[in-house]
């Protein structure tokens, strides 16, 4: 009987080696191990064995079954893997086709730049003040030390609505309103917003543009503080290597006054097309608040001092992105706007 079992093992293993599809494998499993299979058939004869032989033959029978099952399992695994592989091959897709992207809109580049500037000053402890775009002559000019007939009014030709009401030409009237509201308390604000000046539109001029001005008033504010503030701003805005340079200038509401250049980020100050070979870009006007302006705002120039600065958002955006025509900001071509949809 033992011999028959061993023979069965040999026959089964040999036959199993030949199997090349799962159907045949299953048939062989039934043939050898099924209820009516060859192994069962042989082991039925165990009843005729002696009590000593029975466990020995039983053990052989189990060994044969285990050996056949092991091969079947091994074969099954191979067939399963092949089947899975075949199925996955059928599921192949073209990964180069475009996906379903989430929509990406864009904050307008002027607001993108303005927000960046605002965030720098918020980090420096400034709050943000706003005021009306239509202003009185008093807030726009007189309270800023520009009485009627002052020659400096030439510098900013205005859009008047009546003799006394006009489109603000600068965001400085917000400074005056802030001073009046703060009633002598220290101030640290920036004032962003739209301003309007009579200018024929071309690639570098627009009758409507955006300014951001800053105002700091407290006891003992010094011009060196102004320089420190502007350097810190410039380095955050244009890169940590940025240098600033102040040139004496004139604004009716500040004294001393200065124009501020930053070193050209494009060429690092060596001179290039962007900075017209000078290494410097003019981006800011600033100065120490004029005592007349302090007085008109309700502050005593003997008690406090202050500085103010102002910059054009368009100018900075033009430089930052290398835009060649200021009119793009207001015609809003979607192909232009889309370019600012990323960080």
Partner 1 sequence: MKISYQWLNEYIDLSGFTGAELAEKMTRGGIEIDEVESRNKGVTGVVVGYVKSREKHPDADKLNVCKVDVGTGEELQIVCGAKNVDAGQLVPVATVGAKLPGDLHIKRAKLRGVESQGMICSAKELGINDKLLPKEQQEGILVLPPHTVIGTPIEGVLGLNDEVLELDLTPNRSDCLSVIGTAYEIGALTGREVRIPEPAIAHASERTDSHVQVTISAPEQCFHYSARYIKGVKIGESPLWLQNRLIAAGIRPINNVVDVTNFVLLEYGQPLHAFDADQVKSGRIDVRLAHEGETMLTLDDQERRLEPHMLVITDGEKPIALAGVMGGANSEVTGDTVNILLESARFDGGTVRKTSRQFGLRSESSIRFEKEVDPGRVIPALNRAAALITELAGGLATEGIVEVTTAPAKQQVVEVALAKINRYLGTSLSSLEVQTIMNRLSFGYSVSEEDVFQVEVPSRRGDISYDVDLIEEVARLYGYDNIPTTPIFGDVTPGALTKPQAIRRELRKRLTDAGLHEVISYSFTGPERTQLFPALSGESTKAVKLSMPMSEERSVLRTTLIAQLLETAAYNRNRKNESAVIFEIGSVFHTEEEKLTRLPQEKHRFAALLTGNRVEPQWNRKAAAVDFYDAKGVLETVFAVLGITDKVSYAAAQPEHFHPGRTAAVQLETEHGTEVIGYVGQLHPTLQLESDLADTYVLEIELAPLYQLAGDEIVYKALPRYPAMQRDIAVVLDMGVPAGELTALAWQTAGELLESVRVFDVFTGEKLGAGKKSVALSLVYRHAERTLTDEEVTELHGKVVAGLEQSFAAELRK
Minimal distance in Å, beta carbon 327 to partner 1?
Answer: 11
Closest CA to 300 of 312, 309, 313, 291: 291
Q: Which residues pair with 248 in a beta bridge?
A: 258
Binds partner 1 (CB under 8 A): choice among 4, 31, 245, 320: 245
Which residue's CB is nearer to partner 1, number 262 or number 288?
A: 288
**Number of Cβ atoms within 10 Å of the Cβ of 211:** 23
Shortest distance (Å) from residue 176 CB to partner 1: 14
Burial 119-155 (b: 16+ CB within 10 A, else e): ebbeeeebeebebeeebbbebbbebbbbeeeeeebee
**Token output for 75:** 């074969």
250 is an interface residue for partner 1 by CB under 8 A: yes
Q: Figure out which of the listed residues 124, 182, 267, 323 binds partner 1, where binding follows CB under 8 A.
A: 124
Any contact of residue 130 with partner 1 (CB under 8 A)?
Answer: yes
Residue 277 binds partner 1, judged by CB under 8 A: no
Using CB under 8 A, pick the residue from 100, 183, 273, 342 that binds partner 1: 100
| Residue 240 token pair | 């940590």
When the beta carbons of 20 and 154 are compared against partner 1, the nearer one is 154
Residue 10 within binding range of partner 1, rule CB under 8 A? no
Q: Would you tell me how many other CB atoms lie within 10 Å of the CB of residue 239?
A: 12
Told to check if 126 binds partner 1 by CB under 8 A, we report yes
Q: By CB under 8 A, tell whether 270 contacts partner 1.
A: no
Is 106 a binder of partner 1 (CB under 8 A)?
A: yes
Cα distances from 300 to residues 213, 219, 221, 305, 306, in angstroms, run 22, 10, 13, 8, 11
* Spatial separation of the C-alpha atoms in residues 197 and 212, rounded to whole Å: 15
Residues 176-235 binding partner 1 (CB under 8 A) are 186, 188, 194, 196, 198, 200, 207-208, 216, 218, 220-225, 227-229, 231-232
Instruction: Please report whether residue 161 would count as binding partner 1 according to CB under 8 A.
Output: yes
Eight-state DSSP code of residue 291: H
The answer to whether 255 is a known ligand-binding residue is yes
């Amino acid at each position: 009987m033992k011999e028959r079992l061993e023979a069965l093992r040999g026959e089964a293993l040999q036959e199993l080696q030949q199997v090349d599809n799962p159907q045949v494998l299953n048939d062989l499993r039934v043939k050898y191990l099924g209820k009516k299979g060859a192994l069962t058939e042989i082991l039925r004869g165990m009843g005729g064995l002696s009590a000593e032989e029975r466990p020995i033959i039983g053990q052989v029978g189990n060994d044969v079954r285990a050996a056949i099952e092991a091969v079947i399992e091994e074969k099954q695994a191979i067939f399963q893997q092949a089947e899975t592989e075949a199925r996955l091959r059928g599921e192949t897709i073209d990964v180069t086709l475009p996906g379903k992207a989430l929509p990406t809109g864009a904050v307008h580049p002027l607001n993108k730049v303005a927000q960046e500037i605002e965030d720098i000053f918020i980090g420096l402890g400034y709050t943000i003040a706003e005021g009306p775009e239509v202003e009185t002559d008093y807030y726009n000019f007189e309270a800023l030390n520009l009485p009627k007939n002052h020659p400096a009014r030439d510098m900013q030709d205005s859009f008047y609505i009546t003799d006394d009401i006009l489109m603000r030409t600068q965001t400085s009237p917000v400074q005056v309103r802030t001073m009046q509201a703060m009633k002598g308390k220290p101030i640290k604000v920036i004032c962003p917003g739209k301003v309007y000046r009579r200018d024929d539109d071309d690639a570098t001029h627009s009758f409507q543009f955006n300014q951001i001005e800053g105002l700091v008033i407290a006891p003992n504010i010094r011009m060196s503080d102004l320089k420190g503030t502007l350097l810190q701003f410039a380095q955050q805005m244009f890169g940590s290597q940025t240098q600033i340079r102040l040139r004496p200038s004139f604004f009716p509401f500040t004294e001393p006054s200065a124009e501020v250049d930053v070193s050209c980020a494009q060429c690092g100050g060596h001179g290039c097309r962007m900075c017209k070979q000078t290494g410097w870009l003019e981006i800011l006007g600033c100065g120490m608040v004029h005592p007349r302006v302090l007085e008109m705002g309700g502050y005593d120039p003997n008690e406090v001092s202050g500085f103010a600065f102002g910059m054009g958002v368009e100018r900075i955006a033009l430089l930052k992105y290398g835009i060649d025509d200021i009119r793009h900001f207001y015609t809003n071509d979607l192909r232009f706007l889309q370019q600012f949809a990323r960080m």
